[in-house]
Amino acid sequence: MRYSLIPAILFWPLAAQLSITKPAQPAKYIEASGRRAALLGREDGTFEAWVYPIKVLSGFRLSVYVDDSLEPTPLAPLTETTEVHPGHTTLIHVHPAFTIRQTWAASVDDGVLAVLLDIETSRPLKLRASFVPEMKPMWPASFGGQSTGWNEKDGVLTFTEGMRRFRPVLGSPFFKRISEQVGHQLPDRTVIVEFDVDKSGTVPILIAGSRKEYDAAIAAPRTVAETADHHYAAFLKRTTRIGARGLTTAFDWAKLAIEKGWACNEGVGCGLVAGWAPSGASERPGFGWYFGGDTMMSAWAMQDYGDFEGARAALEFLLARQRDDGKIMHEWTQSAALLDWSKYPYGYYHADTTPLLLFTAARYLSQSGDREFLDKYWAQFERAYRFCLTMLDDDGLLSNLKGGAAAVETGALSGKVARDVYLQGVWLGGLDGFEKLARWSNHSELAGEAAQRLAKARASIKPWFVEGKNIFAFAQLKDGTRYEANSGWQGFLVANGGIEKELAARTAASLALPTLATPWGTRLFATDSPFYNPLGYNDGSVWPFVTAQAAMALFRNGQPAAAYRYLHGMAQATGLSGAGFISEYFSGDRFAEGPRAVPHQLFSSVAMVHPLISGMLGLEPDAMNNRLHINPHLPCGLGPVRFDDYRVGKSRLSGVITPGRPSSQIELKGQGPALMIVRGDGPCFDPPPLPALMPGARPE
């Protein structure tokens, strides 16, 4: 069936209206992050400030002296309300004598952070800002000779290090008094800056990467927040929008969470980090490094919502760091320009990133049709493929022993795995991807070779299927035994490995079992597995990124109700760790964050995007052949689901899918070159029970 595309209809108002207003929860995470700097803190108003790759200060907090009081009143316990917007966050502090609206914002492209204090008072006030000067680069780099300099006339404190390469500043035109100034070393205690406010008005406090950036921003400090709001509103408007009851808002916040993962500095460039959190006493803000696997999963979501430019830039960051033998990086510190990162063992110690690149590159081309990308990087794709061959065992499957870690890094199975099922799923998906890349670039001999290897690998993974349990064994262990536990790690294999339909369907049914499934996602291992631990990082907790893969397997193999339940759970998990964000992982026993989980984890937000668009809506692009496959999986009674600005190559589609039986109704409008539309039956399904999750709830 061929549809000519006509001008799109926009269904949504400007996304600048997106916001969260809630009672303040002092321990919850909030932030203001741009591409070069971030405020990472809590809803009590405390934060640490980063100008990448440097932690400038920590423990920043405000207090107020009212009239002639001798003791300051901290603002933290006075925090009543939190307002979170795409480009800024505001905390409202209420006292009988005053109200202060404290707004955090980060410049999108410059190293500038703003704290704007809108003060309403009928009494003269003295305010105190206290903080610990840090001036430390991200681990594992270090500085010597840190010091500060105080400019009393301008109210600016300058931080520097022995070589004076970096000179970030903290300042305000209102700053008048500082507690101390040590000439050649940073003080080992809190520094205090005080300022006076005689009447209602606004006090701007800026942190910037240089005095030049500070001087430019202090002339109009509100533009920091205004420009950031405009950027994110434009981003939400130009990317795919979804109208689906109970899912729309969480989908929008997921897009924002991924967009806020960009980090740039002069020594390293611009790439996607894995996630953000306050670093506390350490020198890494959450997973604020560049991670290969996390970046590629984020790229899947970016492709889904039409940010082709961002997805390509993210992949190019990885390709620029491909090792000479073809292996793709696992992690890269933001301070890599300050040390010899190759001397550390972390950069390339994962086996899954290289085949995952082949899978992700093919997926990017299927969505974007970007042949120039294929031509430019073909040699690197072939090199990645050649490296994968060095990790093969005789049966055509990948070896963790030869390539490195994949599913397991810590926990009961650490050091025991010879080959795991996640790595094999990624290998099958990567082989399929490379076969496409070779075919599209007219390397028919290599395409044929990849197809033969794929057939062999599919035959070799079949004996991993455990009859009676209807699962694929999680791993072959070093001692020659198999770990035959039901696991969420099968999801990628079942969704993307092209295994036999009967085995895929039987395994998908096991992915929906209550021993594995919780209302907020899939456990890594089922409760009846030998080493199950609901708090174990790799032993039974719930990871959204694994949940995303399980949901795709369920949508594609006859279990849409279970997959939809996961999506509903991810929507409810949005904000549990911090307004607008999804945490790194959760307990397998109850609806609560895992110990020390990162509150803003990008691949967790992917679980709110990728299964929704590619799974529930069933949108599968084939831009290299000007096609779009649509096979929706919608619950009956959901009502019409709308999408706008979905990109396939140079075409943009808007549509409405109305669930029904024997098939759902699909209406499409769009603009750009005509596409061949291939649709599946897409009947609706009876929705499962969808519990309203309360923090600390246990599976029913």
Do 520 and 541 contact (CB within 8 A), yes or no? Answer: no
| Longest pairwise C-alpha distance within the chain | 84
Do 57 and 132 contact (CB within 8 A), yes or no? Answer: yes
Q: Which fold has domain 24-230?
A: Beta-galactosidase; Chain A, domain 5 (2.70.98)
> pLDDT value at position 7?
32
> pLDDT value at position 165?
94
Band (pLDDT 50/70/90 cuts) for residue 39 is very high
Matching residue, tokens 């400007």: 14
Percent of the chain at pLDDT above 90? 93
Closest by CA position to 513, among listed 543, 476, 550:
550
Instruction: Enter the tokens of residue 31.
Output: 């932030």
State pLDDT tens for residues 316-334: 999 999 999 999 999 999 9
Instruction: Enter the tokens of residue 625.
Output: 């052949």
State pLDDT tens for residues 173-207: 999 999 976 555 676 678 999 999 999 999 999 99
* Statement: residue 401 has pLDDT above 80: yes
pLDDT, the chain, mean: 95
> What's the mean pLDDT in 617-645?
97
Task: Compute the C-alpha angle 609/611/612, nearest 5°.
Answer: 65
* Statement: residue 119 has pLDDT above 60: yes
* Statement: residue 693 has pLDDT above 50: yes
Do 243 and 12 contact (CB within 8 A), yes or no? Answer: yes
* Statement: residue 15 has pLDDT above 60: no
> pLDDT value at position 597?
97
> pLDDT value at position 10?
32
Which DSSP string do the residues of 437-492 spell out, in sequence order? Answer: HHHHTT-HHHHHHHHHHHHHHHHHHGGGEETTTTEE-SEEETTS-EE---BGGGHH
State pLDDT tens for residues 208-223: 999 999 999 999 999 9
Crossing angle of helices 560-573 and 248-259, rounded to 10°: 60
Q: Where are the domains of the chain?
A: 24-230, 246-622
Backbone angles phi, psi at 451, to 5 degrees: -65, -40
> pLDDT value at position 4?
33
Of the CATH numbers 3.40.309.10, 1.10.10.10, 2.40.50.140, 1.50.10.10, which one belongs to the domain with range 246-622?
Answer: 1.50.10.10
State pLDDT tens for residues 47-89: 999 999 999 999 999 999 998 888 999 999 999 999 999 999 9
Using CA atoms, how far apart are residues 311 and 357, in angstroms rounded to an integer?
Answer: 12
How many helices (H) and strands (E) would you count in the chain? 16, 38
> pLDDT value at position 12?
30
Using CA atoms, how far apart are residues 293 and 268, in angstroms rounded to an integer?
Answer: 18
> What's the mean pLDDT in 246-269?
97
> pLDDT value at position 184?
57
State pLDDT tens for residues 666-692: 999 989 999 999 999 889 999 999 999
> pLDDT value at position 3?
32
* Statement: residue 607 has pLDDT above 80: yes
> pLDDT value at position 188?
66
State pLDDT tens for residues 467-490: 999 999 999 999 999 999 999 999
Percent of the chain at pLDDT above 70? 97
Interior/surface letters 261-277, b for 16+ CB within 10 angstroms, e for the rest: bbbbbeebbbbbbbbbb
> pLDDT value at position 70?
87
Band (pLDDT 50/70/90 cuts) for residue 13 is very low
**Amino acid residing at 126:** K
State pLDDT tens for residues 403-449: 999 999 999 999 999 999 999 999 999 999 999 999 999 999 999 99
Using CA atoms, how far apart are residues 244 and 222, in angstroms rounded to an integer?
Answer: 35
Using CA atoms, how far apart are residues 257 and 636, in angstroms rounded to an integer?
Answer: 30
* Dihedral angle computed from the Cα positions of residues 537, 304, 451 and 462, in that order, rounded to the nearest 10 degrees: 40
Band (pLDDT 50/70/90 cuts) for residue 2 is very low
